[in-house]
Structure 1
């Protein structure tokens, strides 16, 4: 079975690697994909660990996990990546995350900002 993030590799060969190494990804897109998989798996610890400390919603962790479990995740579509490579310190990833909730399909459309500190990528939040 393909990874939750949409790659053709298995979860064990793809996002699980990052879930086990505390989010040490090479690129911002890898981190974004692994965070999507963490939403599918309702892995709140990973979502908090990979969210930059300046914007990390610690108090909302339980609510995030509860919501992630309450919806049925369908697929992730990466639309655009700007910077965010191994040699960058910032980047953005624009994506659509499809899920089924309350009897209908819904979409999260987001342009996410990422920052690299101490050789690790972190999710900052919505890009300007």
Structure 2
């Protein structure tokens, strides 16, 4: 999770695509629309795994146009061939 957050901060779309499970990965991951986003921090509230499935709940803080925002998500991951892949997430309001 932390490496994917860092990839968003650095605009590394190739890394995000490589760590996103093929069954849910978007065909095109364009981060250029996020150029005004200033990421401020990540807090992982909990992480758990059961076999080859994992769940991470996190809160990411960011600013757009000087206004602060929070993204709270419960993300699901799956392990294949020893590597973890982001599957999907439920954004919490």
Structure 1 and Structure 2 fold alike (TM over 0.5) = yes
Match of 2:4 in 1: 35
Q: 1:70 aligns with which of 29, 36, 41?
A: 36
Contact map agreement 1:51 1:123 (CA 8 A) in 2: yes
Give the one of 103, 108, 113 matched to 2:66. 103
1:56 aligns with 2:31: no
TM-score (norm 2): 0.89
- Greater helix proportion: 1
Following superposition, the deviation at residue 83 of structure 1 comes to 1.4
Tell me the matched-pair count. 90
Gaps of 5+ in 2: none
Deviations 1:51-70 (A, max 9, x none): 000000122x12xx113432
Q: TM-score by structure 1 length?
A: 0.66
Query: 2:14 corresponds to which residue?
Result: 45
SS at match of 2:35: helix
Aligned CA RMSD, in angstroms, stands at 1.3
Aligned 8 A contact 1:40 1:68 in 2: no
- Checking the alignment, whether the CA contact within 8 Å between 2:59 and 2:72 is kept in structure 1 is yes
SS in 2 for 1:51: coil
The structure with more strand, counted as a fraction of residues: 2
Q: Could you list the runs of 4 or more consecutive aligned residues of structure 1 that deviate by over 6 angstroms after TM superposition?
A: none
Tell me whether 1:94 sits opposite 2:57 in the alignment: yes
